[in-house]
A and B are shown apart, each in its own frame.
Chain A
Amino acid sequence: MNEIIRTEKLTKKYKEVLAVSEISLSVSKGEIYGFLGLNGAGKTTTIRMLLGMISPNKGEAFINGKKVHAGNTELWKEIGYLVEIPYSYPNLTVKENLEIIRRLRFMKDRNAVDSIIDKLKLTEYANRKVKNLSLGNAQRLGVAKALIHNPNILILDEPANGFDPAGIYEIRKMLSDLAKNHGVTVFISSHILGEISRFATRIGIIHNGVLIQELNTYKLEQLCQKRLKVNTRNNNLAISVLLQNGISAVEATDETVEIKDEEIINNPESVATLLVNNQVPPFLLNVVEEDLESYFLRTIKMKGDEK
């Protein structure tokens, strides 16, 4: 089966607050689905519904074709998960916390705990009580609990929280490897948008409980706006030269000249020639691509303006 995660009009309402509204999405085997949204957008609520922790008011969620509900314990054998900040039993050691998860997952391999401790670089802290761990190592323990049984499906809610840049890179590399080389399906939520764009194969943007856009990374590249940044010793003169030659240019907030014309962006040397010929030679010509963060903010703003 290719479709691993599917939701159909998943909706959750808390009294008068519509937390998640009719979310329908589908994630295929081996995909890394980045679920993006601001804090309070509905990411965690959706993830909790996918894990049977809360029941939807409307709609259904399916994992491996089986309907998600609290009593479907068989379903959780193949899933590793991490929801928000991964708390563990504070008076137990790292090893004891993992041993609990190993047993509750009916895993026979007694070496699984040592193996995952090693993989997540927690060996030094294996016998340390969780209450004495740093935030980053507590997060590593959370990831270890999600990965201990080598799941086929990973549902991770903000897994990068608490990690330093090296830790984020490490986790990103690990998840990419699991998806590419082991066919693991990853559903990952985050509000660190630039982070997700680096390794997700598909992205869903949720805003105010509504899935406002779904796109793959190729399409994202196309949608992200490109601009040509030009800098000269006299930008006012450069702008008037460009305008006289029919090229729309404005002064940007960073005091550079900005051009959005696609044809010009694809041929930046024409601008260089023009400016040199008019005695305002550029010392900077740079094609800047909008990052996911700006794209995301632009998208949710557009959505807000529509309302």
Chain B
Amino acid sequence: MKSILVTFWAECLKVRKSKVFWLSIVFFVFVSFMMGLIMFVQIHPEISQKFGMIGTKASLLRFGEPNWQNYLTLLLQGIGGIGMVGFGFITSWIFGREYTDNTIKDIIALPVSRSSVVISKLIVVILWSILLTCIFLISSIVFGHLAGISGWTGKILSQFLYKYTIATLLTILLCTITSFFASYGKGILLPIGVIILTMIIANFTGLVGLGPYFPWAIPELFCSPPGTEDIHLNIASYMILISTSILGLIGTLAWWQYADQK
């Protein structure tokens, strides 16, 4: 426990002092701003032409009335997508930077166990991801109100929050696979490549109806519009996703403990 506390402190300091931390917040706020802007353009179709590409995009993305129900559904799909990329990127950075900065050798022959370093890093990944999720949620709601979206009720929000939280957790669970590839690939490129590849495969499996059995497709399917997710996801889907996460965790721990750290 003492090992986890000190390694967690060190990981927090490293994250807090990095540019990546602040850039990730800016990125998530920016995406929520864009979503609010799209709603604004939908509410005011007369100005869509003035926005050029954004106006065209907003016109293409018509998903019903520009109300809170539909906006929050858009947010759910948003967190499925940018969560996968965003959380994956921060996991890659937290693990991969030790190799790209050549600092790995400084933290593997110390009185703290290597497993406590890995666990602390994963705790920071979880907390950082939750923070980004909260920032994304709050800023999206703020931009939604500023855009003048109608139909805000507490009931809609509470239903949304349940799905939003579960979708976030499902996405975070997959970060252990990213942490393994960041360690195995000794950097950031391989895990980012893996994330891109899994997203492509997730789309493909979705098309052929295998999405519920491909871990990286599951969070997005969970975020599908109401009434469609139950058709796809089943208990096996969640078991597959949790097993993948555990496999990633074991793989990362084993890699740090047993692989040659050259």
Complex contacts, A70 vs chain B, CB 8 Å:
108, 114, 257-258
B158 within 8 A of A: no
Which applies to chain A's interface (DSSP): helix, strand, loop or mixed? loop
Are the CB atoms of A53 and B105 closer together than 8 Å?
yes
The stretch from B14-22, B34-42, B145-153, B243-251 touching chain A is B14-22
Are the CB atoms of A73 and B260 closer together than 8 Å?
no
B138 within 8 A of A: no
Q: How far is the CA of A77 from the CA of B257 in the complex (A)?
A: 18
Q: How far is the CA of A187 from the CA of B230 in the complex (A)?
A: 64
Q: A89-B101, A91-B17, A100-B10 are in contact. Are A79 and B260 (CB under 8 A)?
A: no
Complex contacts, B107 vs chain A, CB 8 Å:
104
Shortest distance from the beta carbon of B99 to any chain A beta carbon, whole Å: 11
Selected from B2, B6, B113, the residue in CB contact (under 8 A) with A71 is B113
- Give the residues from 59 to 109 in chain A that come closer than 8 angstroms, CB to CB, to chain B: 70-71, 73-74, 76-77, 79, 81, 83-92, 96, 99-101, 103-106
Residue ID in chain B nearest A102 by CB atoms: B6
Question: How many A-B residue pairs lie within 8 Å, measured between CB atoms?
Answer: 83
Complex contacts, A96 vs chain B, CB 8 Å:
13, 17
Are the CB atoms of B111 and A74 closer together than 8 Å?
yes
Selected from B2, B111, B260, the residue in CB contact (under 8 A) with A54 is B260
Complex contacts, A103 vs chain B, CB 8 Å:
6, 9-10
Shortest distance from the beta carbon of B15 to any chain A beta carbon, whole Å: 10
Are the CB atoms of A53 and B19 closer together than 8 Å?
no
Query: Interface extent on B, as a size class?
Result: 20 to 34
Q: How far is the CA of A89 from the CA of B108 in the complex (A)?
A: 15
Q: A53-B260, A103-B6, A103-B9 are in contact. Are A91 and B109 (CB under 8 A)?
A: no
Residue ID in chain B nearest A50 by CB atoms: B109
Are the CB atoms of B2 and A145 closer together than 8 Å?
no
Q: How far is the CA of A197 from the CA of B184 in the complex (A)?
A: 40
Are the CB atoms of A73 and B102 closer together than 8 Å?
no
Residue ID in chain B nearest A85 by CB atoms: B102
Are the CB atoms of A87 and B7 closer together than 8 Å?
no
Q: A70-B258, A71-B257, A103-B9 are in contact. Are A92 and B109 (CB under 8 A)?
A: no
Interface string of B73-96 (1 = CB under 8 A from A): 000000000000000000000000
A48 within 8 A of B: yes
Q: How far is the CA of A81 from the CA of B33 in the complex (A)?
A: 49
Q: How far is the CA of A1 from the CA of B262 in the complex (A)?
A: 31
Are the CB atoms of B109 and A104 closer together than 8 Å?
no
Complex contacts, A239 vs chain B, CB 8 Å:
none
Are the CB atoms of B111 and A53 closer together than 8 Å?
no
Selected from A85, A91, A99, the residue in CB contact (under 8 A) with B18 is A91
Shortest distance from the beta carbon of B5 to any chain A beta carbon, whole Å: 9
Are the CB atoms of A55 and B260 closer together than 8 Å?
yes
Are the CB atoms of B14 and A92 closer together than 8 Å?
yes
A51 within 8 A of B: yes
Given contact pairs A48-B260, A89-B101, A91-B19, enumerate 5 new A-B contacts (beta carbons under 8 Å): A53-B105, A55-B260, A87-B101, A104-B110, A145-B106
Closest 3 CB pairs of A and B: A87-B102, A54-B260, A51-B109
Q: Which residues of B contact A (CB under 8 A)?
A: 2, 6-7, 9-10, 13-14, 17-19, 101-103, 105-114, 257-258, 260-262
20 residue pairs A–B, Cβ–Cβ below 8 Å: A52-B108, A53-B108, A53-B261, A70-B108, A70-B114, A70-B258, A71-B114, A76-B109, A84-B105, A87-B101, A87-B102, A89-B14, A89-B17, A89-B103, A92-B14, A100-B14, A104-B6, A104-B111, A106-B6, A106-B112
